[in-house]
Homo-oligomer: A and B are copies of this chain.
């Protein structure tokens, strides 16, 4: 990061920049974007990702490309090269059935986590 020092938002307000990329939940958001908008590629996903991200941190390109590779290694997406358009070839990823299941699992995990966080916040406010 380096952790604990945010260059983007400064020291004047709390932000999630001190959390790692896993904390930014890149994986589930990519899975959802692929489900909602169909097959896509890194360069296109990066802007959508920053619009739909769960935290206020900017998603690194490097993190996204590595996440996509990892998703493919795990069988959650499959990819092919699109050389039809002009400009550099696009590495296009498509969600698999396994990936859809994985998205639902993420949904369950995040629903519980959301509730737990909400309870935590109430607990803090009650003090």
Q: Is the CB of B120 within 8 A of A29?
A: yes
Q: Which of A83-118 contact B (CB under 8 A)?
A: 103-118
Interface residues of A, count at CB 8 A: 41
Do B109 and A125 touch (CB < 8 A)? no
- Beyond A111-B121, A114-B117, 7 additional pairs, beta carbon < 8 A: A4-B74, A15-B109, A16-B113, A32-B124, A53-B116, A111-B118, A114-B118
What would be 29 A-B contacts, judged by CB atoms less than 8 Å apart? A4-B74, A14-B106, A14-B108, A14-B109, A15-B109, A16-B109, A16-B113, A19-B22, A20-B20, A23-B23, A29-B120, A32-B120, A32-B124, A36-B127, A54-B120, A55-B113, A56-B112, A104-B124, A107-B124, A107-B125, A110-B117, A110-B121, A113-B114, A113-B117, A114-B114, A114-B115, A114-B117, A117-B117, A118-B118
- Contacts from A to B (Cβ < 8 Å): 4, 14-16, 19-20, 22-23, 25, 28-29, 32, 35-36, 53-56, 74, 103-118, 120-121, 123-125, 127
